[in-house]
């Protein structure tokens, strides 16, 4: 999986990299230019929920796929939006019922029509307990693939997390899949949290998982790609340098070498109808993960507190990522504890947004009236810079102090020593870099 922050590590292992997988997570995404084939992996067009992917998001994914001539496009068999028009803030597991199969198949067909190339769904991580009145994981994935006539991206790390967290064993899942539809494997490192193995993409691939993936690959005669997923945030903290990445890529080559070396399992009969409306399941999910207290039939699942914690962490992460100067101002002027309390209150009261700009605007509204000097100005400046980039128009922001001193201090992470005054910052869009003469 390619990110700009991994470019140096990837370049250092050029001979081991046959392709890169690209995840366009922003509306301004630049495609990788690394002299390798690029496969597009979406995160904005999840196909597992009753709310279908937005046409604009499918169109954006199609444009990226066309630019790099991606051989297929993949996205997640997950729920990322509730019918209440609220973003889930996290990939949540769909119901594993016949209705949910039909819902996913409809979404996949729609996505395929827009991207105009083969579509694969990723087998998702599911921290919930398996439910007796729903399909086993492998049967569900197989049913979706057959109903949608699509490819499967088998995320072996997700399936391994699921097995370790009490769901169907990996090899049983794989035995249920139509082997000829599996085009890609994902591998990653995870981390333990509150008794769960999380699909964190946080480090190297567990050696046990490598051997399991070799066994999985041996049963897949039409496998076309094996991908290592790693979030750049973890590179430094986990000591992943070029040598470590090289070793990981060599393991992937071992997995690749094993593909199709065994006869796949015979195709299984389609499962019988399993009742349960996808939309009803999603309303139960929303009741469990949203709001001040978990409610509904899923509230008792031991994974719900984990989901609530992870969803809150992502939302806080989006706020501090979108508004780094605002976050520093709050910490420097009010302290870490007060800032944490403010963010906790924000997350508890407001649903997450899929896009960081929308999250930042929502936080700006929430933060009105917060007692912190220059907070409104810094918020307006950070949002103004976004707007200048997106609209291509100049944006004006008023300050009640000399802005360079304030903003330079925040950039350095030092307490600002401001000089009062009346100033107006004009933020120029990128194509008009540099100042302009006075009128």
Site for other proteins in 234-273 (CB under 8 A): 234, 236-237
Contact between 84 and other proteins per CB under 8 A: no
* Residues in Cβ contact with 242 at an 8 Å cutoff, skipping those fewer than 6 apart: 8, 9, 12, 13
Identify residues 146-165 at the interface with other proteins (CB under 8 A).
158
Q: How far is CA 110 from the centre of its chain?
A: 21
In this structure, how many other beta carbons lie within 10 angstroms of the beta carbon of residue 184?
23
Helix (H) or strand (E) holding 322: helix 304-322
Q: Is 214 near other proteins (CB under 8 A)?
A: no
Q: Is residue 19 close enough to count as binding other proteins by CB under 8 A? A: no
356 binds other proteins (CB under 8 A): yes
**Site size for other proteins (CB under 8 A):** 93
Q: Distance between CA 62 and CA 119 in Å, rounded?
A: 11
- Which of the 8 DSSP states describes residue 438? -
DSSP 8-state code for residue 359: H
Helices (H), 53-180: 55-68, 98-115, 137-148, 156-164, 170-176
Question: To the nearest whole angstrom, how small is the minimum distance from the Cβ of residue 60 to other proteins?
Answer: 11
**Closest distance of CB 421 from other proteins, Å:** 7
- Please give the residues from 285 up to 314 whose contact with other proteins meets the rule CB under 8 A: 310, 313-314
CB of 296 to other proteins, least distance (A): 21
85-104: which residues touch other proteins (CB under 8 A)? Answer: 89-91
Closest CB to other proteins among residues 275, 431: 431
Residue found under tokens 């103004």: 384
Instruction: Find the shortest distance in angstroms from Cβ 336 to other proteins.
Output: 3
Q: What are phi and psi of 25, to 5 degrees?
A: -100, 0
Give yes or no for residue 113 binding other proteins (CB under 8 A): no
Cβ at position 230, least distance to other proteins in Å: 9
The CA distance from 413 to 283, in Å, is 43
Candidate residues 135, 379, 388, 406; the one interacting with other proteins per rule CB under 8 A: 388
By CB under 8 A, is residue 54 in contact with other proteins?
no
Specify whether the CB–CB gap between 46 and 80 falls below 8 A: yes
Residue 198 binds other proteins (CB under 8 A): yes
């Amino acid at each position: 999986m390619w990110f700009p922050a991994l470019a140096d590590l990837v370049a250092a292992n050029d001979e081991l990299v046959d392709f890169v997988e690209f995840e366009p997570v922003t509306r301004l995404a630049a495609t990788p230019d690394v002299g390798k084939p690029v496969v597009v992996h979406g995160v904005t067009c999840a196909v597992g929920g009753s709310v279908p992917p937005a046409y604009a998001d499918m169109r954006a994914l199609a444009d990226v796929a066309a630019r790099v001539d991606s051989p297929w496009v993949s996205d997640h068999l997950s729920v990322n939006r509730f019918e209440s028009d609220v973003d889930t803030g996290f990939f949540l597991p769909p119901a594993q019922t016949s209705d949910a199969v039909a819902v996913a198949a409809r979404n996949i067909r729609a996505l395929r029509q827009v991207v105009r190339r083969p579509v694969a769904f990723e087998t998702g991580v599911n921290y919930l307990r398996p439910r007796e009145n729903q399909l086993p994981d492998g049967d569900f994935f197989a049913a979706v693939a057959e109903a949608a006539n699509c490819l499967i991206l088998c995320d072996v790390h997700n399936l391994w997390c699921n097995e370790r967290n009490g769901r169907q064993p990996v090899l049983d899942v794989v035995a249920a899949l139509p082997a000829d539809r599996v085009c890609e494997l994902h591998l990653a490192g995870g981390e333990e949290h509150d008794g769960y193995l999380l699909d964190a993409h946080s480090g190297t691939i567990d050696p046990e998982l490598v051997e399991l993936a070799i066994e999985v690959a041996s049963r897949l005669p039409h496998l076309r790609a094996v991908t290592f997923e790693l979030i750049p945030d973890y590179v430094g903290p986990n000591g992943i340098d070029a040598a470590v990445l090289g070793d990981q890529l060599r393991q992937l080559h071992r997995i690749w070498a094993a593909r199709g070396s065994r006869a796949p399992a015979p195709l299984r009969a389609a499962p019988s109808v399993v009742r349960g409306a996808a939309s009803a399941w999603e309303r139960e999910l929303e009741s469990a993960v949203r709001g001040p207290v978990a409610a509904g039939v899923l509230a008792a699942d031991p994974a719900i507190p984990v989901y609530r914690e992870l969803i809150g962490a992502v939302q806080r992460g989006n706020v501090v990522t979108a508004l780094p100067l605002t976050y520093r101002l709050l910490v420097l002027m009010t302290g870490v504890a007060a800032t944490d309390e403010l963010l906790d209150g924000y997350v508890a009261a407001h649903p997450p947004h899929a896009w960081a700009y929308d999250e930042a605007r929502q936080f700006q509204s929430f933060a009105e009236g917060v007692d912190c000097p220059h907070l409104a100005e810094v918020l307006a400046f950070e949002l103004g810079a976004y707007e200048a980039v997106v609209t291509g128009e100049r944006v004006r922001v008023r300050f009640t102090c000399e802005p360079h001193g304030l903003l330079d201090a925040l950039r350095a992470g030092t307490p600002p020593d401001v000089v009062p005054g009346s100033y107006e910052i004009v933020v120029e869009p990128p194509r008009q870099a540099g100042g302009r003469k006075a009128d």
